[in-house]
Amino acid sequence: DLGALGSDAVATLFENDLVHVHSVALPAGAALAAHDGGERVVYAISDLALAFTTDGDAAEHTFEPGGVHYHEAGTHAVANVGEGTAEFLVFERRGGALPEGAVPGEIPAAEGATDEVIFEHDFAEVHRVTLQPGASLPPHQGFARAVYSLSGYTVEFTDAEGSHVQRYEAGQAHYHDPGDHTVENAGTTVAESLAGDFTPSARARPTGAARWDQ
């Protein structure tokens, strides 16, 4: 778990028994010591040039801002071999059982709303969602998901338990259980977020999965 390293470069934004969300700002030349981690997807906030050591194997990889890649569970170390601070976001799956829920369908198109799938894997999907003020995502089914706010915004979230309005600042993360819901931008600023959706197949992962999936 990245949060257990006690590194000043790592901030844990959200955690429960299903998922941890970490933000990392690793200075040039700095490294994170070897640590155990669950399956995880990583979103590049800045340009990244990283050296990974996994089970004794070393490799270097570069990523552009907005790029997403996958790591299987295991122990690894990472070093920033680039010239600037490496900033990235980690959606890490923990050991708790995923809740049962409806299998999501496609989100219907709506004026002022976009839902772009920027990463697909049998473990998880990552969506970039944008809502203009007053716009909403129509009713749809959702996986168990962690949401990271790319901008500051106010939304009204409606599900089977009712509606509530919530303000999120850029850099915050939160979690939703699966189920039918709608989301409306109830504020005056554009709402931009990332949703890390953990898919049903993540309950029983196949062996031999590729470590990298870009």
Q: What are the tens digits of pLDDT across the range 160-185?
A: 899 999 999 999 999 988 888 999 99
Q: Is the pLDDT of residue 202 over 60?
A: no
> Which pLDDT score, from 0 to 100, does residue 169 have?
98
Residue 42's pLDDT band (boundaries 50, 70, 90)?
A: very high
Q: Is the pLDDT of residue 210 over 80?
A: no
Q: Is the pLDDT of residue 74 over 70?
A: yes
Strand 179-185, strand 68-71: pairing? unpaired
Ranking 2-6, 66-70, 126-130, 210-214 by mean pLDDT, the lowest is 210-214
| Nearest CA-CA partner of 199 in 101, 59, 82, 83 | 101
> Which pLDDT score, from 0 to 100, does residue 140 have?
86
What is the Cα–Cα distance from 57 to 77, expressed in whole angstroms? Answer: 10
Residue 104's pLDDT band (boundaries 50, 70, 90)?
A: low
Taking every pair of Cα atoms in the chain, the longest distance, rounded to a whole number of angstroms, is: 52
Mean pLDDT of 139-150: 90
Q: Is the pLDDT of residue 207 over 60?
A: no
> Which pLDDT score, from 0 to 100, does residue 201 have?
56
User: In the predicted model, what is the mean pLDDT of the chain?
Assistant: 87
DSSP 8-state class, residue 104: P
What is the Cα–Cα distance from 92 to 90, expressed in whole angstroms? Answer: 6
